[in-house]
Amino acid sequence: MRARLIEVLVAGSQATLTFHPAAKEGSPTLIALHGFTGSGEDFLPLRSSLGADSFNWVCVDFMGHGRSQSPDSLDPYLLVNALSLIDAARSFAPDPHQVCLLGYSMGARVGLHYLKWATPMPAVLIAANPGIDNAEERSKRRQRDGLLISGPDASINDFCDQWEAQDLIRPQTQLPEPIKSELAARRRQNDPIGLRNTLLALGSGVLPSLWADLAKLPPALCLFGQEDDKFQQIARSMQREHSGLEAIAVPGSGHAPHLEAPEATAAVLSNFLLSR
């Protein structure tokens, strides 16, 4: 069945959702939230591995990413508007009682804030981080993020080259074709203004820490790549704060299991969804 683009107005700017229907009526719906520099299309390899017709998918393009606009104003990027966009995505689920949130990295971070605010729902969080507690570390992170795209004339190609050179992201440059080329091309189609405003509104140095709130959140599955030591430690720490959080390593992957090992990620995700 064909995908359908849905345009949503967020604080006066257009954001885009992509609805991929399942072949079977009554199928659950996944609300997919991508990472920084990504788009909803990043989840297509995982969708294929799960079985393209097994679930409905509503893939969000956050403001400044994918097909969504990149306005100069910071307002459309703010957390309250990102949460409203997720709420809009949730409203397109054919069965509102069979919905699961699926977030990666920035999408998982924003997803945690949504879980705090919204009606409880199952969630799968890939490479999630509840935030930075230490005020000094938060300030350093804001300064570091501010240097990534430092002005309106910043080159998107130069930025993406730097972004992909990071230890966490570098394995994505070794993905099989055509996934590697498509991912790189989508990154370079982003507008520097959109990426900069996203960091100013949703960066981990900007959003409030949720470590103290974890125990109040609904149960969730935290996935991390077996080779991603940093986010494995974060997931285990989250699990200690909330006994309802299950932490599982995805073999053969680093920071982005849904891209680096979609088959293995699909197996873990399928087991979780079937147990709901």
Expressed as residue numbers, the domain containing 71 is 4-274
Asked if the model's pLDDT at residue 103 lies above 90, the reply is: yes
Per-residue confidence (pLDDT) for residue 230, from 0 to 100: 95
Asked if residue 54 lies in contact with residue 267, where contact means CB atoms within 8 angstroms, the answer is no
Per-residue confidence (pLDDT) for residue 232, from 0 to 100: 97
- Residue 199: φ, ψ to 5°: -65, -40
Sheet holding 29-33, edge to edge: 4-10, 13-20, 56-61, 29-33, 99-104, 123-126, 220-225, 245-250
Query: Per-residue confidence at 126, pLDDT binned at 50, 70, 90?
Result: very high
Q: Which whole number is the average pLDDT over 19-31? A: 93
Query: Per-residue confidence at 152, pLDDT binned at 50, 70, 90?
Result: low
Per-residue confidence (pLDDT) for residue 22, from 0 to 100: 93
Per-residue confidence (pLDDT) for residue 179, from 0 to 100: 94
Angle between helices 179-188 and 156-164 (to 10 degrees): 130
> How many independent structural domains does the chain possess?
1
Name which of 41, 79, 90, 59 is nearest 190 in CA terms.
41
CATH value at residue 174? 3.40.50.1820
Residue with tokens 């989508």: 186
How confident is the model over 154-171, as pLDDT tens digits?
A: 688 988 998 899 999 999
Query: Which residues does residue 57 pair with via DSSP β-bridges, in sequence order?
Result: 20, 30
How much of the chain exceeds pLDDT 70, in percent? 97
